[in-house]
Amino acid sequence: MSLLPEGEELRRAVKWIDQKIQTDSKIKLNKLMETACIKFNLSPIDSDFLARFFTTPSKLSTHERPTCLK
């Protein structure tokens, strides 16, 4: 049982991966996602979401950022 609100670990994982990518654009996304799943104790459903979030082309403009990344 977590003391964090439901979904908070996933939001933290998305932010963490985003920061790592911005810091080092050559870093391998698959390795980051694997590390994030362990670091933030994500469920299989959360890890599937993470994979889709970072590999599916965004329909947002480059100036828009999801609320969870603000």
Average pLDDT rounded to a whole number, residues 24-28? 87
Would you say the pTM of this structure is higher than 0.75?
no
Strands (E), 1-70: none
pLDDT at residue 67 above 50? yes
Query: Which carries the bigger pLDDT value, residue 18 or residue 56?
Result: 18
pLDDT at residue 36 above 70? yes
pLDDT at 63: 47
Of the chain, the percentage scoring pLDDT greater than 70 comes to 73
Of the chain, the percentage scoring pLDDT greater than 90 comes to 41
